[in-house]
Amino acid sequence: MKVTVMFFGPLGEQAGQEIAQFDLPQGGTYGDLLDEIGHRFGYRFHERIWDAREKVFKPGILVVGTGRDLDSRDTSLEDGEEIKIVPILGGG
């Protein structure tokens, strides 16, 4: 199954592209996607946002699937799903 990931803001710069497609096995999960993101882009992400050992985004990064937040590695993804990865910016 194919999943499209969109990296917003500085994440796109760090990844070297704003949109990436991933081929996951049928019934793939958010954890499978994180593993693939880690394999392809993990070394490019700053340690403040990416835990290279656990292959997860750290707090401060919002990951949104089709109409839902993705926060559990066990969450099933759908073929053709678009995942948005957005840094949460604070300000005043």
9-43 residue pLDDT tens: 999 999 999 999 999 999 999 999 999 999 999 99
pLDDT at res. 30: 96
Domains of the chain: 2-87 (3.10.20.30)
What does pLDDT average to over the chain? 92
For residue 83, the one-letter residue type is I
pLDDT at res. 71: 84
Is beta strand 82-87 parallel, antiparallel or unpaired with respect to 2-7? parallel
Q: How far is CA 42 from CA 8, 13, 49, in A?
A: 16, 13, 10
pLDDT at res. 91: 54
Is beta strand 61-65 parallel, antiparallel or unpaired with respect to 50-51? unpaired
